[in-house]
Structure 1
């Protein structure tokens, strides 16, 4: 009498041919190596998608702490769900072609991310600073992250089946290690190379191609005929073609657009500024000028001229932190004959755009440097008569390390005896939205003995605010001197805020304790 089989129906026929416990040692090694490659590269793909995703979302949702938090949180929860799903599916089906199906789905969705973002990001960007990034992250990245998160637990199952489940712990350790190493490589590859060498769309399409190759490896391991692979491959190719060739509609105002390592850079000639050209970084207008003569079009940019009120200050050397559209440094070069003007801008692509579209090459005395402001200050030689801080990395978001007590001390050390530090800040002057001004005012006053504040706009709502820090009192030029009411000088001086109009000081902000990002986030929410 034959002994009844104890094997579960459906598992024997599907797994024996692929991850058979009786496989030869050489076949087992090949299976292990291929599973290792799949796990390593799928882990790298997750991080490439996640890091590149921020550059995709920033033009619509800003490069804020909320965008990063929503993106990272959604990907993490999706990977957690994928880990559970992968284990369940591996136990249920026990076939290596499960990996091929997971990778095919991830490849298709990854290739469609750019075009889906083009269609849906503009509408979701109106849903708020938190809801918008969360919804778009769920819509674009949750499903591909779930599928990629399922690869590792499924691979653990197949890795251990080759050894008749005798080394499950070893299999889990190896697969987990390789997935983490892949994530490490994907992180460094994205941050140090891909985003500076390729467009965001190309990165997503390339990641989809990589996942297609991994799916083909899994199909080969499963010994599936070409006919059964054709549907998966066709779906991936179709998604790739759609993702690559479908473009977002471009406004007639756009003169130039590119994605750099730091920003989406857009040059516009907007209808609301006839005859002018503006520079946008992500979703924020950074500056502009009149095309004909390079004249400034944004009111706050004229406040560099506060430095000219001081008769004792000879403006021979100036430094601008943040290029904007190069309008202010170019005007200094025109107005103050023979002056030397340095501009430090972290994004080299912004400097190139300045040369092509904002007359930078027409001003030989304006010298642009691609560097971080603090690094540049430490390495620069000589002192400046004017330093103007106007660096931003998103909507109302001044980089946190450029508002600390230590940074202001570095600025002060680079000023000439009569030199002045001016800073453009976006904040309210009173109420809940004045928290940023309160902290930076308190920080600046711990470094400079004399600080003045000018509100560029009207009222106490969020607006451009100019802070002035100096080693000497500016009251002789702000209170004692007479200016014609029709003059530019009068308009600037009349915007000066008195102490009773300012919020109570807070802080200081330091390199050790600096809640500037959270303060800006709260300001945007109010």
Structure 2
């Protein structure tokens, strides 16, 4: 038996619906890429309001996958009942309009109706994701002319859609976010989708219904300019702002994703406004002779408040800072008075990788103050990470870390237990109620500072320094600390459920 010669040549003949193989591939590729762009950018758009947590990422990914499944199912079902030529243009156009409006809608909702934020955010991902995902089954329906080519057409378009998703992911993560603000990415994508809608309408139906949608895109761009929640800079990881202190002309607060991360006095680096920074200064000043220069490494930079303090109070100190966000470093230079001199060397790098590059025994001090949202990045909390910290410290070196937790303080307890697995001597400073030294008061949580070393911690000198800076904090060691830790299990690279242990529900004032 021989097959009809018409099937192999079908790709070369005009399609009865006016949609050739290349046009079909472009539509599927572009729609699939757009879904992933929306998903990734949504994570960044929501970070200032929901935090950069595993739960936020899981929610966005789950909604995006739901949109893909829903769109694929409904798109195929409707394409069997309605002329597919009537569906592609509206799907692209409406999706584009929603995408373009998303920045203004999300930021306005977060400002004026925060209780509705999860619902609105879900819809801004679900609606365009479903509409764009419906394009693949609709186009597939248009391309199928005989059962003999079903496998070829479905397989080809499925592969093209997957490649589009990959390109959308890589393009967004490595190019778009690094060069464009979030609002610009979404408005630009929305514009492209509306333009695509007009082209498809013209090619398949001979007319364009896009003028109204074009007006929506323009309105979205204008609304984004006046919507609340703007940033001085949208960096790779944060929505960043610098806020002037109305009570102190030289005071500046670095705000990342709505959280006050650092306070800097550009004229006087010894001014330490946040209690946890005063506590870290107290610990370090009690541990090392006054004025002695140190070799320090800082995990996380932010506004570089503490490196500046060390440079001012301990001339000759060499501070190496691992800060993953190059945009924050630019903010330090452009808005917070960071100069190239002063013994502060900032490297744009991941903190864990930065530790590995340091020689053994090369540091007197390591300061842990790295945060994504309100949580320490999990890979900086584990026994293995603490082993790296201990390796780079000299024999009398000191590790000091800022922690944030609320509620039952489950993460803080686990992290102190983790550090205790690595260092011989561990202490904890914080509000007496939070560290178990005031049984009459309920723990509220917030900042805690953990101290670790292979030499004994001078409890009396540390407490004296804490009192001198009027922190109101106390220090817990020995049996008191063991009782506070309880049965908390150490964190490891194999099991570090930081986001599940953390209770980030306290006031979003500072870290």
Is the pair's TM-score, using the shorter chain for normalization, greater than 0.5?
Answer: yes
Indicate which of 148, 164, 168 corresponds to 2:150. 168
CA distances 1:313-370 after superposition (whole Å, capped 9, x unpaired): 9542111111121111101000001111111100011111111222211752111111
Matched-pair contact (CA < 8 Å) for 1:276–1:297: no
- Residues 246-257 of structure 1: pairs in structure 2 closer than 5 A: 246=223, 247-249=225-227, 257=232
How far the C-alpha of 1:398 sits from its partner, in A, is: 0.7
The 3 A distance-change label for structure 1 pair 367 and 447 is same
**Could you list the runs of 5+ residues in structure 1 that have no partner in the other structure?**
1-21
Q: In 1, distance between residues paired with 2:312 and 2:257?
A: 29
Q: In 1, distance between residues paired with 2:52 and 2:202?
A: 42
Further displaced range: 370-379 or 59-68? 59-68
1:368 equivalent in alignment to 2:346: yes
Indicate which of 265, 268, 278 corresponds to 2:240. 265
1:27 equivalent in alignment to 2:14: yes
CA distances 1:379-406 after superposition (whole Å, capped 9, x unpaired): 13461111100000002x1100000001
The 3 A distance-change label for structure 1 pair 418 and 70 is same
How far the C-alpha of 1:283 sits from its partner, in A, is: 2.3
Partner residue, 1:152: 136
Matched-pair contact (CA < 8 Å) for 2:414–2:485: no
Partner residue, 1:464: 447
- Residues 84-103 of structure 1: pairs in structure 2 closer than 5 A: 84-103=73-92
Matched-pair contact (CA < 8 Å) for 1:118–1:248: no
Partner residue, 2:102: 113
Partner residue, 1:196: 178
The 3 A distance-change label for structure 1 pair 394 and 311 is closer
1:398 equivalent in alignment to 2:379: no
Q: In 2, distance between residues paired with 1:371 and 1:67?
A: 24
Partner residue, 1:385: 364
Q: In 1, distance between residues paired with 2:241 and 2:463?
A: 42
1:444 equivalent in alignment to 2:431: no
How far the C-alpha of 1:67 sits from its partner, in A, is: 1.8
Further displaced range: 241-250 or 438-447? 241-250
Secondary structure at 2:155 match in 1: helix
The 3 A distance-change label for structure 1 pair 184 and 24 is closer
The 3 A distance-change label for structure 1 pair 123 and 505 is farther
Indicate which of 46, 66, 80 corresponds to 2:69. 80
Select the structure of larger CA radius of gyration.
1
Partner residue, 1:500: 480
Indicate which of 426, 432, 435 corresponds to 2:410. 435
Matched-pair contact (CA < 8 Å) for 2:106–2:121: no
Partner residue, 2:273: 297
Matched-pair contact (CA < 8 Å) for 1:453–1:497: yes
CA distances 1:262-312 after superposition (whole Å, capped 9, x unpaired): 111111125587863111111221111234423221011122331222357
**Alignment size in residue pairs:** 482
Secondary structure at 1:166 match in 2: helix
**Could you list the runs of 5+ residues in structure 2 that have no partner in the other structure?**
1-8, 435-442
How far the C-alpha of 1:144 sits from its partner, in A, is: 0.9
Matched-pair contact (CA < 8 Å) for 2:111–2:228: no
Matched-pair contact (CA < 8 Å) for 2:286–2:461: no
- Residues 183-262 of structure 1: pairs in structure 2 closer than 5 A: 183-222=165-204, 224-225=205-206, 228-229=207-208, 231-232=209-210, 234-246=211-223, 247-249=225-227, 257-262=232-237
Further displaced range: 303-312 or 417-426? 303-312
Secondary structure at 1:186 match in 2: helix
Partner residue, 2:437: none
Indicate which of 86, 100, 111 corresponds to 1:122. 111
Indicate which of 122, 143, 154 corresponds to 1:138. 122
Q: In 1, distance between residues paired with 2:388 and 2:41?
A: 33
Matched-pair contact (CA < 8 Å) for 1:434–1:503: no
CA RMSD of aligned residues (A): 2.8
How far the C-alpha of 1:243 sits from its partner, in A, is: 1.7
- Per the normalisation by structure 1, the TM-score is 0.85
- Per the normalisation by structure 2, the TM-score is 0.87
